[in-house]
Amino acid sequence: ATGMGLYLANEMAKDLKIELDIRSKPQKGTEIIILFPIIDA
């Protein structure tokens, strides 16, 4: 693995104005939280 997928996901998130919170623990796994901005409808 080259890590390109995470880089591309982060770039897309920036373009879409969303935030990625990625937490990884060895032998436990990876948690990815996606935060969307609140907008007025």
The pLDDT of residue 21 is 92
Q: Which amino acid is at 12?
A: M
Band (27; pLDDT cuts 50, 70, 90): very high
SS3 6: helix
Work out whether strand 19-25 and strand 29-35 pair parallel, antiparallel, or are unpaired: antiparallel
Residue 33 in this model has a pLDDT that exceeds 80: yes
The pLDDT of residue 30 is 87
Flag whether the pTM goes above 0.75.
Answer: no
